[in-house]
Each structure stands twice: as structure tokens, then as C-alpha cells.
Amino acid sequence: MHNSSFEGVSWDSAHHRLFVVKEKLPLRVLVISGLQGLGETSGFNIDISEWKSSSAASLFMSDLSSLTLHEPTGHLLLLSDESALLVEYAADGRPIGLMPLWRGFHGLQRKVPQPEGVAVGRDDAIYVLSEPNLFYRFERAPKRRLRNT
């Protein structure tokens, strides 16, 4: 049986919108706005649109298992289980970073087996949850200083 339904969700508090990923058939990132009026007697106006990468023909991945919006930058991070990739997109939809979750990359002794969730901490550390019951934390490499000559 295929698991091709909604998989991940992330809230954008700056723009009051919800991002939702559809795993596959087809891969989709939906943006739902107008939710801030829910529960009020004045009514609400929900809008659903599709987010797409601005310069990439595809999302580089065969499925989507999770996403998170990094609010300080407005960057969207998309996680793929099957491809074992985390791809970062700028606010305008340009792909700007690719993080393979494969053996030999980022200190990994083996491929992350089934990445299913992603979040970014205040310190910009990336947290990935993986089945069965695995938890990964990736830190940003320290910035190198140029030496004065």
C-alpha cells in the first residue's frame, strides 16, 4: 500500500500561514493562509496555494516526509525519506543548500535510515527524527576567520 498523503506541517507566524507537504504522487508543498480568523464570529477566508521552487525543475527528491520554516531567514527546509536529503530553499524559492543524510557526510557512520521529521533550533542546529526511534542533531560548522597577513 502506498503512503502518499500529507506528511509534514510547519507554521509561519510572521505571515500567518501553514505549510503542508504531500509525500508523493505528486510531491506538493501547500500553503494555507487565512487561518487566523478561525473561531471568530466574523468569519474567515482560507486560501490554499502551492509553493514551488523558483529555479529548479524538480525538488531534487523522490518524496517529501517533512518540512520546517526557519523564521529568522524565511528559508524553507524540505526533508526526503527516500532520497535521504534535506534541501534548503531561500524565501524566493531558490535552492541554496543540500544536506545529504548519507554515510560519510556530516559525521554519519551510516545513512540516516528513515528521516521523518526536521526542525531548526535557535542556535541553527538542525534536528532530524528518524525511524525507528532515532534522533540526530547537526551543528553548523564554526565560521573560519581570515588571518591577517
Contact 86, 79 (CB under 8 A): yes
Residues 6+ apart with CB under 8 A from 87: 59, 60, 61, 77, 78, 80, 95, 97, 98, 99
Residue 6 to residue 9: CA distance in whole angstroms = 8
pLDDT-derived band at 34 (thresholds 50, 70, 90) equals: confident
Global pTM? 0.86
Contact 50, 76 (CB under 8 A): no
Contact 85, 100 (CB under 8 A): yes
pLDDT digits (tens, 9 = 90+) for 88-140: 999 888 899 999 999 999 999 999 999 999 999 988 999 999 998 999 999 97
Residue 46 to residue 49: CA distance in whole angstroms = 10
- The pLDDT assigned to 145 comes to 57
pLDDT-derived band at 147 (thresholds 50, 70, 90) equals: low
Contact 101, 84 (CB under 8 A): yes
Cell triple for 2: 502506498
Whether 144 shows a pLDDT value over 60: the answer reads no
Q: φ and ψ at 37, to 5 degrees?
A: -90, -5
CATH, domain 6-138, list 3.90.1150.10, 2.120.10.30, 1.10.3720.10, 3.90.199.10: 2.120.10.30
Cell triple for 44: 474567515
pLDDT digits (tens, 9 = 90+) for 69-93: 999 999 999 999 999 999 999 988 8
Cell triple for 16: 500567518
Whether 17 shows a pLDDT value over 80: the answer reads yes
